[in-house]
């Protein structure tokens, strides 16, 4: 959040791409391999990032494909404030 606040404060028209898997992925992956997919303390409770961007009065979008991601990055580069681009990722079952 601090980085987002700084980007807004200094009017940095940059795309901020957030790959959101709601977990500590590297640790979760290791637990999956080493402990038979028994997980502890790796899943996160995240805020609604779309609402968080709205609170900062900046654009936000959730994308679901590589084409959408490319399109939104291009659009973000044309804005005078940051754009939050959220990419939801599912951990393999």
Question: Which three-class secondary structure string do you get for 34-61?
Answer: HCCCCCCCCECCCCCHHHHHHHCCCEEE
Which secondary structure element, helix H or strand E, spans residue 8, and what is its range? Answer: helix 2-9
With a cut of 80, say whether residue 54 has pLDDT above it. yes
pTM of the model: 0.84
Residues contacting residue 56 through CB under 8 Å, at least 6 positions apart: 4, 5, 8
Pairing of strands 15-20, 59-62: unpaired
**pLDDT tens digits, one per residue of 18-51:** 999 989 989 998 999 999 999 999 999 999 999 9
With pLDDT > 90 as the criterion, what percentage of the chain qualifies?
Answer: 86
Q: Which residue has the tokens 């709205």?
A: 54
Domain residue extents for the chain: 2-20+46-88
């Amino acid at each position: 959040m601090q980085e987002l606040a700084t980007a807004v404060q200094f009017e940095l028209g940059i795309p901020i791409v957030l790959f959101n898997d709601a977990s500590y992925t590297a640790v979760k992956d290791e637990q999956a391999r080493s402990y038979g997919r028994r997980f502890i303390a790796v899943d996160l409770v995240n805020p609604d990032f779309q609402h968080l961007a709205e609170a900062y009065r900046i654009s936000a979008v959730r994308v679901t494909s590589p084409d959408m991601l490319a399109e939104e990055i291009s659009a973000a580069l044309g804005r005078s404030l940051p754009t939050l681009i959220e990419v939801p990722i599912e951990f393999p079952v």
